[in-house]
Amino acid sequence: MKENSNKSNNIIKNFFIEFIILIIAIILMILNPNKALSGIMYALKMFFTLFPIIISVAFLTGFISEIIPKKTIAKIIGKESGIKGKSLGAFFGMFMVGPTYAFYPFFKELIDKGASVGVIATTIGSWAIKIQWLPFALGILGAKFVLLLNFFILIYSFIIGFIMDFFFNLKKHR
């Protein structure tokens, strides 16, 4: 009997947010079924929009995990990679598309394989640049604004990367 109780507690603990969302959804269905249905339709649309990205990231994460040795990742974007690793991270970050949070499992896998936290932070920071949108932004906002904005985003991405490395290395030395 106690074993079943532990399983129930683990399910609730592991899916706490999902249970809360389910309870809210049930309450909304009772209070305003039309709005709740509209919300469910929106959520499904969002799910099917994000599903290919999440699946792609899952495959990429699995590929990195199984194919690329930890030593290789540590050498290229590891803690000792310095400005070269952060530059590589910034370069890839500028070209990445999709929602950042969908790539968190991928970034976690890279960190577990020896990637520098600073490189990952620089990648996420430079993601805001969106090279593929530059022509559109230049046409609407003008060259001075877009180039200065992207220059400062890139600089701040590197600064954030070095700060993250500092704090994570500080934690290890204590």
At 149-169, the pLDDT tens digits run: 999 999 999 999 999 999 998
Same domain (yes/no): 84, 160:
yes
pLDDT at 5: 61
Domain extent, residue 135, equals: 69-172
Same domain assignment for residues 37 and 80: no
Query: Do 84 and 159 share a domain, yes or no?
Result: yes
3-state secondary structure of 115: strand
Residue 100 shares a structural domain with residue 118:
yes
**Are residues 121 and 150 part of one domain?**
yes
Q: Is the pLDDT of residue 6 over 80?
A: no
**Tokens 């399910």 appear where?**
11
Tell me how far apart the alpha carbons of residues 136 and 140 are, in angstroms, rounded to a whole number: 6
Compute φ and ψ for 75, nearest 5 degrees.
Answer: -70, -45
Regarding whether 43 and 75 lie in a shared domain, the answer is no
Q: How many domains does the chain have?
A: 2
Pair 136, 52 in one domain: no
Q: Are 55 and 75 contained in the same domain?
A: no
150's tokens: 């992207």
Count of C-beta atoms within a 10 Å radius of residue 115: 25
Residue with tokens 């290229």: 76
One domain for residues 56 and 110: no
Final residue before a domain boundary, out of 43, 60, 77: 60
Question: What is the residue whose two structure tokens read 């074993």?
Answer: 3
What's the rounded Cα separation, in Å, for the pair 42 and 163? 39
Closest by Cα among 146, 108, 147 to 124: 108
The single-letter DSSP state of residue 130 is -
Tokens of residue 142, six digits: 């003008």
Mean pLDDT for the stretch of residues 52-79: 86
113 and 64 Cβ atoms separated by less than 8 Å: yes
Residue 68 DSSP symbol: S
Lowest mean pLDDT among 8-17, 36-45, 136-145: 8-17
